[in-house]
A and B are shown apart, each in its own frame.
Chain A
């Protein structure tokens, strides 16, 4: 250690960035970029696993009888693990992966505030994942991702205990990660960058992390009680022995409604970046987008009982209906701001942009069905039916997953130094997008006609609908492999990306792709408005950057003659 203390001279001391090998990603590392990729790779693995389970679910539902699965219990395990894996081992870690990679870069920092803690938080995930999968094979993880007692306490088997332990670990991991993000965002910003000059993705991560720190402990508390009930013989959730069965539902939703925003706020952040960059326009209503994330974070804690309209005392329904309507407002503000952002922009229909637009359209449908569910009379009718399944997939797949896809097309060049194949990307989009819609939209209908969720056997009159849904779902499943193929192929044969292929203004692009291990050579100079696209200053800023890194990028991104009229749109 002592031998090398010479200070790094900008530009001089750092030679060619060391080319990372696969083995570098399998080892403990405190570099946030490596950790980010570790998160993403792990999450993608679980995405494939959870996706395979989804295919099995749809296969089972091709017929009204139980045929693929041995019995109802086996089917229960199937959708329980599918839901849990998708939420806790795919979406949340995937977002954490992007955030790990991007937040320090976007802030112009060398790393997170606590690099060691960052690595530690990541390394909790693989054992938790293994435990979860083990739980599946041990069996009888039957209670769904919501794990309501008494099914989760008196009936399920050891798999359920492993499930709870695994979630505990994942919770610890995400709390540690969130603390790290908040400290990084507050303390590692360069002195010249105020909160309102941060990229919106960073804002989104700030709001997300605040929710994680305050909501996840509820889950931890509830899981502790659940585990005690299962293994120590307590009866917190068993009314027959003096417990209260609704206690779980209350605490769980007190965590889990805020948690749905943990899953979707980072996606909001991604979308704000993508829309602005690919339509070459400043974000419309920057402050509105930034602050509505905070509003969502707080109001999100007051709506949980809308998941319990059918189990609560009736007097409490209306208050929660009102708060549920209120929380749609900040989300609506964001949607309008995004529309304002692309309005009159010079839209480039790149794959990233297509997915961002896909997000916009599908998420709005999910939001609308959310408001429908939030109104008591309607919810009483469709609670626990396929309508809910449809809603949650529109917000989580149509929302978060499409945003992740967009983010992959957008940031893959930064992370690997290679472009993804745009043609394959468009094919991917034009299969995924309709297949997604055709899979999940008809579920609204199935739900309203009365098909319950979480069943392997259903009334024969629903079969046509279900066969249709299943076929669309298989197409959707297969379309994922286009992306996976594209990623693997482009990693080796993709076009070289250069530092800033999209001529974006945020700081992660102000360094080589992939960035050197210290992130920047010298100190990066942020552009005052991270979204000041379409101005001459922005044009010159990117040009000077290009000179520094010796890269050229598509000239049609910022035609000089177009700059005049567009600059009027600057906030």
Chain B
């Protein structure tokens, strides 16, 4: 009885690492496909407004300054680099290297979120708020906060995920052959980075 259940578990649960990697990678790309759609809609909503209201955008840019987001951009780019270096170490068989690099990823991600918080504070003190307060700044606000905060939420999830990867790596769950979990997290994290690349250009520069 128990034997059958175990066997069922076995049949339904596990494939070889290589097959698992193939399946997981494809699934992750499909998941990213749907993320692409959501972010496109949110960014498009912003861009439509921005093209029709140049002065408002300009005013907000004046208020926020470029230094903080530029810094944040470099931080996120570095975290992405750290991520891929970690995966490289793992594939070279160095699990400690993986832990170190992913640790940096998580740290940089955390700093990113913290700085985004600082930025939000500055902006809302300057009157750019999410709610309608009567005035064009809040019309800007909702369209600005929706995509950036949604992205920020992705970064937070990513940091938690990175910690999970570290925890797993410390228990010895990954190896040069068995790296699907890390690879999939990498795809996610780099995707979040790509989204930021566009947010940075479309929201803060243009």
Whether the Cβ atoms of B37 and A218 lie closer than 8 Å is yes
Residues of A within 8 A of B34 (CB): 175, 213-214, 216-217, 220
Q: Is A13 at the interface (CB under 8 A from chain B)? A: yes
Whether the Cβ atoms of B139 and A241 lie closer than 8 Å is yes
Chain A at the B interface: SS class = helix
For the complex, what is the distance from the CA of A168 to the CA of B121, rounded to whole Å? 29
For the complex, what is the distance from the CA of A113 to the CA of B13, rounded to whole Å? 9
Residues of B within 8 A of A217 (CB): 34-38, 41
Q: Is A186 at the interface (CB under 8 A from chain B)? A: yes
Residues of B within 8 A of A224 (CB): 146, 150
Interface residues of B in 1-55 (CB under 8 A from A): 3-4, 6-13, 19, 22-23, 26-27, 30-31, 33-38, 41-42, 45
Residue ID in chain A nearest B7 by CB atoms: A4
Residues of A within 8 A of B45 (CB): 225, 236, 247
Whether the Cβ atoms of B146 and A225 lie closer than 8 Å is yes
For the complex, what is the distance from the CA of A251 to the CA of B3, rounded to whole Å? 51
Q: Is A31 at the interface (CB under 8 A from chain B)? A: yes
If A1-B6, A113-B23, A234-B130 touch, does A220 touch B30 (CB 8 Å cutoff)?
A: no
Cβ-neighbour of A242 out of B12, B41, B132, B150 (below 8 A): B132
Q: Is A18 at the interface (CB under 8 A from chain B)? A: yes
Q: Is A288 at the interface (CB under 8 A from chain B)? A: no
If A110-B12, A242-B132 touch, does A235 touch B142 (CB 8 Å cutoff)?
A: yes
Q: Is A232 at the interface (CB under 8 A from chain B)? A: yes
Residues of B within 8 A of A241 (CB): 132, 134, 138-139
Whether the Cβ atoms of B12 and A115 lie closer than 8 Å is yes
Q: How many residues of B contact A (CB 8 A)?
A: 37
Whether the Cβ atoms of A30 and B33 lie closer than 8 Å is no
Least Cβ–Cβ distance between A273 and chain B, in angstroms? 25
Q: Is B177 at the interface (CB under 8 A from chain A)? A: no
Whether the Cβ atoms of B11 and A110 lie closer than 8 Å is yes
Residue ID in chain A nearest B13 by CB atoms: A115
Least Cβ–Cβ distance between A511 and chain B, in angstroms? 14
* Size category of the binding interface on chain A: 35 or more
If A220-B38, A228-B146, A241-B139 touch, does A517 touch B27 (CB 8 Å cutoff)?
A: no
| One of A176-184, A261-269, A338-346, A450-458 contacting the partner | A176-184
Residue ID in chain B nearest A184 by CB atoms: B23
For the complex, what is the distance from the CA of A403 to the CA of B180, rounded to whole Å? 40
For the complex, what is the distance from the CA of A235 to the CA of B33, rounded to whole Å? 28
**Among B8, B26, B31, which residue has the most Cβ atoms of chain A within 10 A?**
B8
Residues of B within 8 A of A247 (CB): 45
Residue ID in chain B nearest A212 by CB atoms: B34
Whether the Cβ atoms of B42 and A187 lie closer than 8 Å is no
For the complex, what is the distance from the CA of A544 to the CA of B11, rounded to whole Å? 27
Interface residues of A in 226-250 (CB under 8 A from B): 228, 232-236, 238, 241-243, 247
Residues of B within 8 A of A243 (CB): 139, 142
Cβ-neighbour of A236 out of B19, B30, B142 (below 8 A): B142
For the complex, what is the distance from the CA of A182 to the CA of B55, rounded to whole Å? 46
Least Cβ–Cβ distance between A85 and chain B, in angstroms? 24
Whether the Cβ atoms of B8 and A517 lie closer than 8 Å is yes
B116-153 CB mask vs A (1 if < 8 Å, else 0) is: 00000000000000111010101100110010001000
Residues of A within 8 A of B142 (CB): 228, 234-236, 243
Interface residues of A in 395-423 (CB under 8 A from B): none
Chain B at the A interface: SS class = helix
Residue ID in chain B nearest A215 by CB atoms: B37
Whether the Cβ atoms of A233 and B131 lie closer than 8 Å is yes
Residue ID in chain B nearest A182 by CB atoms: B30
Least Cβ–Cβ distance between A519 and chain B, in angstroms? 9
Q: Is A518 at the interface (CB under 8 A from chain B)? A: yes
Whether the Cβ atoms of A31 and B8 lie closer than 8 Å is yes
Cβ-neighbour of B11 out of A3, A113, A251, A518 (below 8 A): A518
Residue ID in chain A nearest B6 by CB atoms: A4
Whether the Cβ atoms of A242 and B7 lie closer than 8 Å is no
For the complex, what is the distance from the CA of A110 to the CA of B10, rounded to whole Å? 11
Residue ID in chain B nearest A188 by CB atoms: B23
For the complex, what is the distance from the CA of A472 to the CA of B42, rounded to whole Å? 46
Residues of A within 8 A of B30 (CB): 178-179, 182-183, 213
If A216-B34, A235-B132 touch, does A187 touch B19 (CB 8 Å cutoff)?
A: yes
Least Cβ–Cβ distance between A559 and chain B, in angstroms? 39
Q: Is A59 at the interface (CB under 8 A from chain B)? A: no
For the complex, what is the distance from the CA of A215 to the CA of B35, rounded to whole Å? 11
Residues of A within 8 A of B33 (CB): 213-214
Whether the Cβ atoms of A518 and B23 lie closer than 8 Å is no
Residues of A within 8 A of B139 (CB): 235, 241-243
Residues of A within 8 A of B31 (CB): 175, 179
Q: Is A508 at the interface (CB under 8 A from chain B)? A: no
Residue ID in chain B nearest A3 by CB atoms: B6
Residues of B within 8 A of A3 (CB): 6
For the complex, what is the distance from the CA of A1 to the CA of B8, rounded to whole Å? 11
Interface residues of A in 149-175 (CB under 8 A from B): 175
For the complex, what is the distance from the CA of A4 to the CA of B7, rounded to whole Å? 7
Residue ID in chain A nearest B147 by CB atoms: A221
If A234-B132, A234-B142, A236-B45 touch, does A187 touch B23 (CB 8 Å cutoff)?
A: yes
Interface residues of A in 43-69 (CB under 8 A from B): none
For the complex, what is the distance from the CA of A30 to the CA of B14, rounded to whole Å? 12
Least Cβ–Cβ distance between B60 and chain A, in angstroms? 14
Residue ID in chain A nearest B142 by CB atoms: A234
B84-116 CB mask vs A (1 if < 8 Å, else 0) is: 000000000000000000000000000000000
Residues of B within 8 A of A142 (CB): none
Residues of B within 8 A of A242 (CB): 132, 136, 138-139
For the complex, what is the distance from the CA of A216 to the CA of B38, rounded to whole Å? 9
Whether the Cβ atoms of B12 and A179 lie closer than 8 Å is no
Whether the Cβ atoms of A221 and B41 lie closer than 8 Å is yes
If A214-B34, A217-B38, A517-B11 touch, does A232 touch B131 (CB 8 Å cutoff)?
A: yes
7 nearest A-B residue pairs (beta carbon)? A242-B139, A217-B37, A233-B131, A234-B142, A221-B41, A217-B34, A4-B6
Interface residues of A (CB under 8 A from B): 1, 3-5, 8, 13, 15, 18, 30-31, 110-111, 113-117, 175, 178-180, 182-183, 186-187, 213-218, 220-222, 224-225, 228, 232-236, 238, 241-243, 247, 251, 517-518
Given contacts A113-B27, A221-B42, 18 further A-B contacts (CB under 8 A): A4-B3, A8-B11, A110-B11, A113-B23, A115-B13, A182-B30, A187-B22, A187-B23, A187-B26, A214-B33, A214-B34, A232-B131, A242-B138, A242-B139, A251-B41, A517-B11, A517-B12, A518-B8
Can you list 20 A-B contacts with CB-CB less than 8 angstroms, sorted by A residue number? A4-B3, A13-B7, A111-B11, A114-B23, A178-B30, A217-B34, A217-B38, A221-B37, A222-B41, A225-B45, A228-B142, A232-B131, A235-B142, A242-B136, A242-B138, A247-B45, A517-B11, A517-B12, A518-B7, A518-B11
